[in-house]
Structures are given as structure tokens and as C-alpha cells.
């Protein structure tokens, strides 16, 4: 089937309606993408400001890993959750259990920032911070009846006297 011939065989008002619909959809998509970037930038700046304040409060606590390692952890977490299908939730749980104190958590949150999730290569919702991403990906198992994986992380942190909770 030749689309150009099919299009040319349509009555003129239908052609204009089709072009108008496509233009409207493209404009709405463009607005959504650009508004998400503005909102995301503001949310990212606010998150970074809060994390810096907390890191200053914990200046006497030592990090368990090098600063580069937290960036690697953040990328691993993102790669393990970003697509929805085929995600590696066990890698998320094991990485989060490697955190040993509040400062480790803050540094990881800082390096993760706000990141975009995708479904079939299409951006899904607004970019999310680390805790929000983990809650939405691991916190709704079996249709929201349980959050076993999140509970495992929180229980591990509680044993280590980490005050943060997902």
C-alpha cells in the first residue's frame, strides 16, 4: 500500500484535519518535553541543595567508598531500573545494602540526581530521584500488595543505624 497515493486520494478537508491532528500532537509532545526539563532542573537544584546541607551536617562521618564509586553505584542503579521490563531488581537491592551510614546514602542520592525512566524507549513521566525511583520500581510488587525488596533494604539500613528509609 502506497501511503502517498492513499493520502492523495483523501478529500481535501480530511487531509487538513489529518495534518492538523499530527501538528497538534507534535506540539503537545514538544511542550511536555520542554516543561519536564524545566521542572526537572528545578527539582534537581532543590534536591542538590538539600543534600549539600545534609552532607555538611554529617561532615565528621566518613564515606565508605571513593567518590567515583558512588557515581558507579548510581549508574548501576539507574541501568537496573530504567526500562521497566527486564530490570535487575536484585542488583538494586544488593547495591543499596552496600551503604553503611547516612553519608553513604546522601552521596549516592546526590550522584543519582533525577533521572528519566523509559518504556519501550519512550520517556515515562518526569525524571525521578533515587528513592522515588526505587519506590516506584520495587515498592509495588504483586499489584501493590507487598514491598518485600524495599523492606529488605530498609531492614538492612535499620541494623546499620541508618536513619533514612525508602
Give the per-residue SS3 of 50-99: HHHHHHHHCCCCCCCCCHHHHHHHHHHHHHHHCCCCCCCHHHHHHHHCCC
Give the helix, strand, coil percentages of the chain, each rounded to 5: 65, 10, 25
Is 166 within the bounds of a domain? no
Torsion sign across C-alpha atoms 67, 65, 79, 26: negative
Whether residue 38 has pLDDT greater than 70: no
If you average pLDDT over every residue of the chain, what do you get?
81
* pLDDT > 90? residue 73: yes
CA dist 130 and 108 (Å) reads 8
Task: Please report whether residue 67 resides in a domain.
Answer: yes
- Tens of pLDDT, residue by residue over 76-122, are 999 998 876 667 889 999 999 999 999 999 999 999 999 988 877 78
Range of the domain at 129: 3-159
Asked, for residue 164, whether it belongs to a domain, the answer is no
- Percentage of the chain beyond pLDDT 70 is 73
Residue 75 clears pLDDT 60, i.e. is over it: yes
Q: For residues 144 and 110, is the Cβ–Cβ distance under 8 A?
A: no
**Domain assignment of residue 89, yes or no:** yes
How far is residue 142's CA from residue 54's CA, in Å, rounded to a whole number?
A: 35
Higher-confidence residue: 150 or 21?
150
Q: Is the pLDDT confidence value at 60 over 80?
A: yes
- Asked whether the predicted pLDDT for residue 143 surpasses 80, the reply is no
Flag whether pLDDT at 142 surpasses 90.
no
Number of domains in the chain: 1
pLDDT at residue number 122: 80
Query: Is position 165 within any domain?
Result: no
Answer yes or no: is pLDDT of 29 > 70.
Answer: no
Quote the pLDDT of residue 141.
63
88 DSSP β-pair partners: none
**H helix and E strand count, the chain:** 7, 2
Query: What is the structure's pLDDT at 157?
Result: 96
Amino acid at each position: 500500500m502506497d501511503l502517498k497515493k492513499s493520502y492523495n486520494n483523501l478529500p481535501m478537508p480530511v487531509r487538513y484535519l489529518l495534518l492538523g491532528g499530527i501538528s497538534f500532537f507534535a506540539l503537545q509532545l514538544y511542550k511536555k518535553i520542554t516543561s519536564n526539563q524545566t521542572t526537572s532542573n528545578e527539582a534537581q537544584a532543590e534536591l542538590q541543595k538539600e543534600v549539600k546541607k545534609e552532607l555538611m551536617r554529617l561532615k565528621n562521618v566518613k564515606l565508605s567508598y571513593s567518590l567515583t564509586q558512588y557515581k558507579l553505584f548510581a549508574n548501576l542503579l539507574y541501568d537496573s531500573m530504567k526500562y521497566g521490563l527486564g530490570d535487575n531488581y536484585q542488583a538494586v537491592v544488593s547495591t543499596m545494602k552496600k551503604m553503611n551510614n547516612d553519608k553513604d546514602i546522601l552521596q549516592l542520592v546526590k550522584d543519582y540526581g533525577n533521572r528519566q525512566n523509559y518504556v519501550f524507549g519512550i520517556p515515562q513521566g518526569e525524571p525521578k530521584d533515587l528513592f522515588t525511583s526505587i519506590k516506584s520500581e520495587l515498592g509495588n510488587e504483586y499489584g501493590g500488595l507487598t514491598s518485600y525488596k524495599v523492606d529488605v533494604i530498609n531492614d538492612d539500613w535499620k541494623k546499620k543505624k541508618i536513619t533514612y528509609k525508602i
